Structure 1
Protein backbone atom coordinates (compact mmCIF):
# COMPACT_ATOMS: atom_id res chain seq x y z
CA UNK A 1 0.00 0.00 0.00
CA UNK A 2 1.43 3.33 -1.03
CA UNK A 3 1.41 6.33 1.30
CA UNK A 4 -0.34 9.53 0.28
CA UNK A 5 1.98 12.04 -1.35
CA UNK A 6 0.48 15.04 0.44
CA UNK A 7 2.29 15.06 3.75
CA UNK A 8 1.98 17.84 6.30
CA UNK A 9 5.65 18.72 5.80
CA UNK A 10 4.98 19.78 2.20
CA UNK A 11 2.88 22.80 3.16
CA UNK A 12 5.35 25.22 1.57
CA UNK A 13 5.11 28.86 2.56
CA UNK A 14 1.92 28.35 4.58
CA UNK A 15 3.44 25.77 6.96
CA UNK A 16 2.98 27.74 10.17
CA UNK A 17 -0.46 29.26 9.58
CA UNK A 18 -3.96 27.96 9.11
CA UNK A 19 -4.66 26.86 5.55
CA UNK A 20 -6.11 29.87 3.69
CA UNK A 21 -9.49 29.40 2.04
CA UNK A 22 -9.89 30.81 -1.48
CA UNK A 23 -13.15 31.09 -3.40
CA UNK A 24 -12.43 30.79 -7.16
CA UNK A 25 -15.23 32.01 -9.44
CA UNK A 26 -15.16 31.32 -13.19
CA UNK A 27 -17.77 30.19 -15.71
CA UNK A 28 -15.15 28.01 -17.47
CA UNK A 29 -14.68 24.57 -15.91
CA UNK A 30 -11.17 24.36 -17.37
CA UNK A 31 -10.18 27.69 -15.82
CA UNK A 32 -11.70 26.70 -12.44
CA UNK A 33 -9.73 23.45 -12.47
CA UNK A 34 -6.51 25.29 -13.38
CA UNK A 35 -6.97 27.88 -10.61
CA UNK A 36 -7.84 25.14 -8.13
CA UNK A 37 -4.67 23.19 -9.05
CA UNK A 38 -2.43 26.27 -8.81
CA UNK A 39 -3.87 27.28 -5.44
CA UNK A 40 -3.73 23.74 -4.08
CA UNK A 41 -0.02 23.74 -4.95
CA UNK A 42 0.28 26.69 -2.54
CA UNK A 43 -1.49 24.69 0.18
CA UNK A 44 -4.76 26.58 -0.07
CA UNK A 45 -8.22 25.21 0.56
CA UNK A 46 -10.19 25.99 -2.60
CA UNK A 47 -13.92 26.27 -3.17
CA UNK A 48 -15.09 26.90 -6.73
CA UNK A 49 -18.23 28.55 -8.07
CA UNK A 50 -19.34 28.69 -11.70
CA UNK A 51 -20.92 32.15 -11.50
CA UNK A 52 -21.38 35.25 -9.38
CA UNK A 53 -24.76 34.19 -7.99
CA UNK A 54 -23.30 30.90 -6.68
CA UNK A 55 -20.37 32.80 -5.19
CA UNK A 56 -22.72 35.17 -3.37
CA UNK A 57 -24.74 32.21 -2.06
CA UNK A 58 -21.57 30.58 -0.75
CA UNK A 59 -20.48 33.83 0.90
CA UNK A 60 -23.89 34.20 2.53
CA UNK A 61 -24.73 37.26 0.44
CA UNK A 62 -27.43 35.73 -1.76
CA UNK A 63 -30.78 37.57 -1.87
CA UNK A 64 -32.64 34.93 0.10
CA UNK A 65 -29.95 34.56 2.76
CA UNK A 66 -29.93 37.92 4.52
CA UNK A 67 -31.49 36.44 7.66
CA UNK A 68 -28.85 33.75 8.11
CA UNK A 69 -25.93 35.97 7.11
CA UNK A 70 -23.78 35.59 10.23
CA UNK A 71 -24.07 31.80 10.48
CA UNK A 72 -23.24 31.27 6.81
CA UNK A 73 -20.14 33.45 6.90
CA UNK A 74 -18.77 31.84 10.04
CA UNK A 75 -19.21 28.39 8.49
CA UNK A 76 -17.42 29.29 5.28
CA UNK A 77 -14.75 31.85 6.14
CA UNK A 78 -13.04 32.87 2.94
CA UNK A 79 -9.66 34.60 2.97
CA UNK A 80 -9.59 35.59 -0.69
CA UNK A 81 -11.95 35.66 -3.68
CA UNK A 82 -10.50 35.30 -7.18
CA UNK A 83 -13.00 35.86 -9.97
CA UNK A 84 -13.14 36.03 -13.73
CA UNK A 85 -14.28 39.40 -15.11
CA UNK A 86 -16.36 38.12 -18.06
CA UNK A 87 -19.12 35.80 -16.90
CA UNK A 88 -22.75 35.48 -17.97
CA UNK A 89 -25.37 36.85 -15.58
CA UNK A 90 -23.04 38.75 -13.26
CA UNK A 91 -19.60 40.04 -14.18
CA UNK A 92 -16.63 39.80 -11.86
CA UNK A 93 -16.88 43.57 -11.46
CA UNK A 94 -20.49 43.29 -10.24
CA UNK A 95 -19.47 40.50 -7.85
CA UNK A 96 -16.63 42.69 -6.56
CA UNK A 97 -19.07 45.56 -5.92
CA UNK A 98 -21.48 43.31 -4.01
CA UNK A 99 -18.67 41.93 -1.83
CA UNK A 100 -17.28 45.41 -1.10
CA UNK A 101 -20.80 46.72 -0.26
CA UNK A 102 -21.24 43.98 2.36
CA UNK A 103 -20.41 45.02 5.91
CA UNK A 104 -19.09 41.57 6.83
CA UNK A 105 -17.25 40.67 3.60
CA UNK A 106 -15.79 44.02 2.53
CA UNK A 107 -12.38 43.30 4.09
CA UNK A 108 -11.91 40.09 2.07
CA UNK A 109 -9.40 40.69 -0.75
CA UNK A 110 -10.84 40.21 -4.25
CA UNK A 111 -8.63 39.49 -7.26
CA UNK A 112 -10.08 39.95 -10.75
CA UNK A 113 -8.75 38.00 -13.72
CA UNK A 114 -9.47 38.38 -17.39
CA UNK A 115 -8.16 37.18 -20.73
CA UNK A 116 -8.64 40.69 -22.09
CA UNK A 117 -6.15 43.44 -21.27
CA UNK A 118 -8.49 46.45 -21.17
CA UNK A 119 -6.86 49.30 -19.19
CA UNK A 120 -10.07 51.16 -18.28
CA UNK A 121 -11.65 47.88 -17.09
CA UNK A 122 -8.58 47.18 -14.94
CA UNK A 123 -8.66 50.72 -13.50
CA UNK A 124 -12.40 50.46 -12.77
CA UNK A 125 -11.91 47.21 -10.83
CA UNK A 126 -8.97 48.56 -8.82
CA UNK A 127 -10.91 51.75 -8.01
CA UNK A 128 -13.82 49.65 -6.78
CA UNK A 129 -11.52 47.84 -4.34
CA UNK A 130 -9.99 44.88 -6.21
CA UNK A 131 -6.70 43.86 -4.65
CA UNK A 132 -5.17 42.90 -7.97
CA UNK A 133 -6.00 42.36 -11.64
CA UNK A 134 -4.40 39.36 -13.36
CA UNK A 135 -4.36 38.33 -17.01
CA UNK A 136 -5.41 34.80 -17.98
CA UNK A 137 -4.27 32.17 -18.44
CA UNK A 138 -2.91 32.19 -14.91
CA UNK A 139 0.45 30.60 -14.19
CA UNK A 140 2.02 29.45 -10.94
CA UNK A 141 4.10 32.66 -10.90
CA UNK A 142 0.86 34.69 -10.92
CA UNK A 143 -0.58 32.73 -8.03
CA UNK A 144 2.63 33.20 -6.05
CA UNK A 145 1.97 36.96 -6.20
CA UNK A 146 -1.05 36.25 -3.99
CA UNK A 147 1.20 35.06 -1.14
CA UNK A 148 1.20 38.47 0.51
CA UNK A 149 -2.61 38.66 0.61
CA UNK A 150 -3.00 35.04 1.71
CA UNK A 151 -0.43 35.34 4.49
CA UNK A 152 -1.87 38.60 5.81
CA UNK A 153 -5.47 37.46 5.81
CA UNK A 154 -4.83 34.92 8.57
CA UNK A 155 -3.61 37.40 11.14
Structure 2
Protein backbone atom coordinates (compact mmCIF):
# COMPACT_ATOMS: atom_id res chain seq x y z
CA UNK A 1 0.00 0.00 0.00
CA UNK A 2 1.53 3.28 -1.09
CA UNK A 3 1.61 6.19 1.33
CA UNK A 4 0.11 9.16 -0.50
CA UNK A 5 0.58 11.58 2.41
CA UNK A 6 -1.05 14.95 1.97
CA UNK A 7 0.35 15.60 -1.47
CA UNK A 8 0.04 12.89 -4.13
CA UNK A 9 2.79 12.88 -6.77
CA UNK A 10 1.44 12.99 -10.32
CA UNK A 11 3.41 12.46 -13.53
CA UNK A 12 1.74 14.53 -16.29
CA UNK A 13 2.69 13.53 -19.84
CA UNK A 14 1.68 15.67 -22.82
CA UNK A 15 3.51 16.73 -25.97
CA UNK A 16 1.67 20.08 -26.03
CA UNK A 17 3.36 22.63 -23.74
CA UNK A 18 0.15 24.63 -23.15
CA UNK A 19 -1.82 21.50 -22.20
CA UNK A 20 1.04 20.31 -19.98
CA UNK A 21 1.21 23.65 -18.15
CA UNK A 22 -2.58 23.73 -17.75
CA UNK A 23 -2.69 20.22 -16.29
CA UNK A 24 0.24 21.08 -14.01
CA UNK A 25 -1.48 24.26 -12.75
CA UNK A 26 -4.79 22.46 -12.13
CA UNK A 27 -3.08 19.65 -10.23
CA UNK A 28 -0.96 22.03 -8.15
CA UNK A 29 -4.12 23.98 -7.25
CA UNK A 30 -5.48 20.67 -5.97
CA UNK A 31 -2.43 20.18 -3.73
CA UNK A 32 -0.64 17.66 -5.89
CA UNK A 33 3.08 17.49 -6.51
CA UNK A 34 3.59 17.41 -10.28
CA UNK A 35 6.38 16.19 -12.52
CA UNK A 36 5.91 16.76 -16.25
CA UNK A 37 7.23 14.93 -19.30
CA UNK A 38 6.84 16.04 -22.90
CA UNK A 39 6.49 12.52 -24.34
CA UNK A 40 6.16 8.85 -23.52
CA UNK A 41 9.88 8.12 -23.77
CA UNK A 42 10.72 10.88 -21.25
CA UNK A 43 8.02 9.49 -18.95
CA UNK A 44 9.56 6.01 -19.16
CA UNK A 45 12.99 7.48 -18.41
CA UNK A 46 11.61 9.29 -15.37
CA UNK A 47 9.83 6.16 -14.18
CA UNK A 48 13.00 4.14 -14.68
CA UNK A 49 11.49 1.78 -17.23
CA UNK A 50 14.04 0.74 -19.82
CA UNK A 51 12.43 0.42 -23.23
CA UNK A 52 15.23 -1.68 -24.71
CA UNK A 53 14.28 -4.93 -23.01
CA UNK A 54 11.38 -7.07 -24.20
CA UNK A 55 9.24 -8.75 -21.59
CA UNK A 56 9.82 -7.72 -17.99
CA UNK A 57 10.73 -4.05 -17.74
CA UNK A 58 13.68 -3.03 -15.64
CA UNK A 59 12.67 -0.46 -13.04
CA UNK A 60 14.84 1.29 -10.50
CA UNK A 61 13.27 1.32 -7.05
CA UNK A 62 13.97 5.01 -6.45
CA UNK A 63 11.66 6.22 -9.22
CA UNK A 64 8.48 4.39 -8.30
CA UNK A 65 7.25 7.21 -6.06
CA UNK A 66 4.54 8.35 -8.48
CA UNK A 67 0.96 7.97 -7.24
CA UNK A 68 -0.71 8.69 -10.58
CA UNK A 69 0.20 9.06 -14.24
CA UNK A 70 -1.95 11.30 -16.43
CA UNK A 71 -1.09 11.09 -20.11
CA UNK A 72 -2.32 12.47 -23.40
CA UNK A 73 -3.46 9.78 -25.83
CA UNK A 74 -2.15 11.35 -29.06
CA UNK A 75 1.58 11.97 -28.91
CA UNK A 76 4.31 11.46 -31.51
CA UNK A 77 6.72 8.57 -30.99
CA UNK A 78 4.75 6.80 -28.29
CA UNK A 79 1.02 7.18 -27.68
CA UNK A 80 -0.53 7.37 -24.25
CA UNK A 81 -1.94 3.90 -24.93
CA UNK A 82 1.57 2.52 -25.54
CA UNK A 83 2.79 4.23 -22.35
CA UNK A 84 -0.13 2.68 -20.47
CA UNK A 85 0.84 -0.78 -21.74
CA UNK A 86 4.47 -0.28 -20.65
CA UNK A 87 3.43 0.82 -17.16
CA UNK A 88 0.92 -2.00 -16.74
CA UNK A 89 3.55 -4.45 -18.02
CA UNK A 90 5.97 -3.46 -15.26
CA UNK A 91 5.85 -5.59 -12.11
CA UNK A 92 6.75 -2.59 -9.94
CA UNK A 93 4.56 0.08 -11.56
CA UNK A 94 1.50 -1.91 -12.62
CA UNK A 95 -0.49 -0.75 -9.56
CA UNK A 96 0.04 2.94 -10.35
CA UNK A 97 -3.23 4.38 -11.71
CA UNK A 98 -2.99 5.73 -15.26
CA UNK A 99 -5.48 8.30 -16.56
CA UNK A 100 -5.67 8.91 -20.31
CA UNK A 101 -6.77 12.31 -21.62
CA UNK A 102 -7.70 13.15 -25.19
CA UNK A 103 -9.42 15.91 -27.12
CA UNK A 104 -11.12 13.24 -29.23
CA UNK A 105 -14.15 11.36 -27.92
CA UNK A 106 -13.67 8.01 -29.67
CA UNK A 107 -15.58 5.22 -27.84
CA UNK A 108 -13.45 2.39 -29.29
CA UNK A 109 -10.27 4.18 -28.14
CA UNK A 110 -11.74 4.83 -24.69
CA UNK A 111 -12.81 1.18 -24.31
CA UNK A 112 -9.41 -0.06 -25.51
CA UNK A 113 -7.62 2.07 -22.89
CA UNK A 114 -9.94 1.00 -20.07
CA UNK A 115 -9.63 -2.66 -21.09
CA UNK A 116 -5.83 -2.34 -20.97
CA UNK A 117 -5.95 -1.04 -17.39
CA UNK A 118 -6.48 2.73 -17.55
CA UNK A 119 -8.10 4.03 -14.38
CA UNK A 120 -10.11 6.69 -16.21
CA UNK A 121 -10.41 8.36 -19.62
CA UNK A 122 -11.05 12.12 -19.57
CA UNK A 123 -11.70 14.61 -22.34
CA UNK A 124 -9.61 17.73 -22.87
CA UNK A 125 -9.56 20.44 -21.87
CA UNK A 126 -9.43 19.33 -18.26
CA UNK A 127 -11.33 21.51 -15.82
CA UNK A 128 -10.88 22.10 -12.09
CA UNK A 129 -13.89 19.83 -11.45
CA UNK A 130 -12.14 17.01 -13.38
CA UNK A 131 -9.04 17.38 -11.23
CA UNK A 132 -11.10 17.37 -8.02
CA UNK A 133 -12.75 14.14 -9.19
CA UNK A 134 -9.32 12.77 -10.07
CA UNK A 135 -7.86 13.67 -6.67
CA UNK A 136 -10.78 12.09 -4.81
CA UNK A 137 -10.45 9.02 -6.97
CA UNK A 138 -6.70 8.92 -6.38
CA UNK A 139 -7.02 9.10 -2.62
CA UNK A 140 -9.65 6.32 -2.51
CA UNK A 141 -9.04 4.07 -5.49
CA UNK A 142 -6.23 1.79 -4.26
CA UNK A 143 -7.12 -0.84 -1.70
Normalising TM by the smaller chain, what interval? Answer: 0.7 to 0.9
Equivalences for residues 125-144 of structure 1 within 5 A: 125-144=113-132
1:33 aligns with 2:26: no
1:70 aligns with 2:70: no
2:85 — aligned with what?
97
Query: Whose helix proportion is higher, 1 or 2?
Result: 1
Counterpart selection for 1:106 from 94, 101, 112: 94
Residues of 2 paired with 1:71 and 1:32: CA distance?
A: 26
Q: Which runs of 5+ in 2 are unaligned?
A: none
RMSD: 2.1
Bigger Rg, which one: 1
Superposed displacement of residue 63, structure 1: 2.9
Tell me, what secondary structure is at the counterpart of 2:122? Answer: strand
Kept in 2: contact 1:79–1:154 (CA 8 A): no
2:138 — aligned with what?
150
* TM-score, normalization by structure 2: 0.88
Q: Which runs of 5+ in 1 are unaligned?
A: 1-15
Aligned residues: 137
Residues of 2 paired with 1:49 and 1:117: CA distance?
A: 23
Equivalences for residues 8-23 of structure 1 within 5 A: 17-23=5-11
1:82 aligns with 2:70: yes
Residues of 2 paired with 1:154 and 1:117: CA distance?
A: 27
Residues of 1 paired with 2:125 and 2:27: CA distance?
A: 14
